[in-house]
């Protein structure tokens, strides 16, 4: 677990508890992204390969894990869309959904710290983005592989 506020373990612990309390919301947002990605890729024949979708999601997730800013992740998503690696429509939706996590980040900071310091909000937002992208990969794998293995699956 990374320290969001390295010099204050108590505040850091409160932030992590607040993050964990929002886990279900993040999982739901991730499923929405995975469903939208599935639909967007199915519209583009050239990108219909299941492995390509999963690889692109993992690329975005990996980029978010290594990044120190949301702007960097957002640019990478746009870059992948411009290269034709992901559908532009999905990229726009993903940027909107992931960008909107900043509101959740502000709420987490407010509940944990009774304030919303910009630096903390940025770090919490990026952690939310990382988690949602990780869950999106898992949802995608379920929709691409797990559902089809179910009786009566697609």
Cα Rg, the chain, nearest whole Å: 17
Whether 111 is in a domain gets the answer yes
Whether 10 is in a domain gets the answer no
Whether 43 is in a domain gets the answer yes
Contact 102, 37 (CB under 8 A): no
Whether 6 is in a domain gets the answer no
Whether 80 is in a domain gets the answer yes
Write down the pLDDT at residue 53: 78
Contact 50, 144 (CB under 8 A): yes
| Tally of domains in the chain | 1
Whether 33 is in a domain gets the answer yes
What residues make up the domain containing 112? 24-145
Write down the pLDDT at residue 149: 62
Whether 12 is in a domain gets the answer no
pLDDT digits (tens, 9 = 90+) for 23-82: 999 999 999 999 988 888 776 654 445 457 788 999 999 999 999 999 999 999 999 999
Any idea how long the chain is?
Answer: 154
Contact 101, 29 (CB under 8 A): yes
pLDDT digits (tens, 9 = 90+) for 81-117: 999 889 999 999 999 999 999 999 999 999 999 999 9
- Residue 150 banded pLDDT, cuts 50, 70, 90: low
Whether 8 is in a domain gets the answer no
């Amino acid at each position: 677990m990374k320290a969001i506020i390295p010099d204050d373990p108590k505040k850091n612990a409160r932030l992590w508890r607040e993050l964990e309390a929002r886990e279900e919301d993040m999982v739901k947002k991730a499923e929405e992204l995975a469903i939208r990605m599935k639909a967007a890729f199915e519209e583009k024949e050239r990108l219909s390969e299941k492995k390509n979708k999963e690889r692109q999601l993992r690329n975005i997730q990996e980029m978010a894990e290594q990044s120190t800013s949301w702007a960097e992740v957002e640019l990478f998503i746009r870059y992948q869309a411009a290269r034709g690696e992901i559908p532009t429509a999905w990229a726009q939706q993903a940027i909107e959904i992931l960008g909107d996590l900043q509101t959740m980040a502000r709420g987490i900071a407010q509940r944990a710290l009774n304030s919303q310091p910009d630096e903390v909000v940025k770090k919490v937002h990026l952690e939310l983005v990382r988690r949602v992208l990780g869950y999106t990969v898992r949802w995608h794998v379920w929709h691409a592989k797990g559902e089809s293995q179910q009786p009566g699956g697609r």
